[in-house]
Amino acid sequence: MKNNKIWLVYALVTVVTWGIWGAFSEIPEKNGFPSTLTYVVWSLSMIPCALVALYNIKFKLDVRPRSALLGLGVGLLGAAGQLILFEALKQGPAYIVFPIISIAPILTVLLSAVFLKERVKKASIFGIVLAFVSIICFSLSDNDGSTGEGYLWLVLALLVFACWGIQAFIMKVANNYTPDAESIFVYMAIAAVALSPVALLMTDFSQPINMSFNGPYLSFLIQILNAIGALTLVYAMRYGKAMVVSPLSDALSPMMTVAISLIIYAHVPTIEQTIGILAAISCVFILSRE
């Protein structure tokens, strides 16, 4: 593969790691390990990946104020979005919350086009559209039938949408300014750990918590896949266009999750998931030519 396609390699690593993570991420919670504590475990899983990133740059972290602020901004937006999502799912129906936040890349695309002046080939525009078709199909297929009261959940869902859409844009801005992608990830890890006390405060410790292997320890093994994917996403953003990388990774990851579920759990794809899979495959072929 040509050097100018290195962004695609990193994006596909993100897809694979996030896809595997998605297939197994619910296991600890089903075993009695709360999602808020899963956040804490995820933040800790960012640390070994951050150490690898530091090693790659010989522990010469970019400490310029602007680099630090951009990196922390990326981390805080991502982590805050995750924490808000916990509350949104408590307040409202998951089958509406997830479709709203899943199209966050459209905000990334718009911001990148307006402020970074990113442009893509005409064919790639169709690929981006297919990515959103795939994202929406996978989100609509994840319907648990729950209902919510009031509209606080909608406000919270829109906040997550904004956090994650802006996060990907800021990640690209940071990559344009910071001399290495590794520094950005290290600051992301710092921000994730810094918000761990909030997750602890959100945890209901009056309920039984599974602290055996299939609780926090299994959760760590699963969450480190998420952390690895986040690291390679930073690299993908460095070498590729945000308006391509963001929808591509968000479209293909759930496709990988469905494929794994199909093999392991004998899960039969729904009509929506089948359309999503076909759209995602077509998307990657089109965008790989960008």
Q: How far is CA 255 from the centre of its chain?
A: 14
- Model pLDDT, residue 3: 54
Residues 6+ apart with CB under 8 A from 29: 35, 38
Dist. CA 37–CA 180, nearest whole Å? 31
CA trace torsion 117, 123, 124, 128 (10° rounding) = 110
- Model pLDDT, residue 258: 82
Domain assignment of residue 50, given as a range? 3-287
What are φ and ψ of residue 101, in 5° steps? -75, -20
**Structural domain total, the chain:** 1
Q: How far is CA 123 from the centre of its chain?
A: 25
Distance between first and last Cα of the chain: 13
Task: Please say whether the beta carbons of 247 and 132 come within 8 A.
Answer: yes
233 token code pair: 């996403």
Q: Which of 2, 6, 11 is nearest to 244 (CA)?
A: 11
Residues 6+ apart with CB under 8 A from 217: none
Dist. CA 79–CA 197, nearest whole Å? 12
Task: Please say whether the beta carbons of 50 and 228 come within 8 A.
Answer: no
Would you put residue 150 in left (φ > 0), alpha (ψ -120 to 50) or beta? left
Q: What is the pLDDT along the chain (290 residues), one digit of tens a residue?
A: 455 789 999 999 999 999 999 999 989 999 999 999 999 999 999 999 999 999 999 999 999 999 999 999 999 999 999 999 988 888 887 767 887 888 899 999 999 999 999 988 888 899 999 999 998 888 776 555 444 556 788 899 999 999 999 999 999 999 999 999 999 999 999 999 999 999 999 999 999 999 999 999 999 999 999 999 999 999 999 999 999 999 999 888 988 888 888 888 777 788 888 899 899 989 988 887 76
- Model pLDDT, residue 142: 58
Q: Which of 147, 133, 30 is nearest to 97 (CA)?
A: 147
Task: Please say whether the beta carbons of 181 and 234 come within 8 A.
Answer: yes
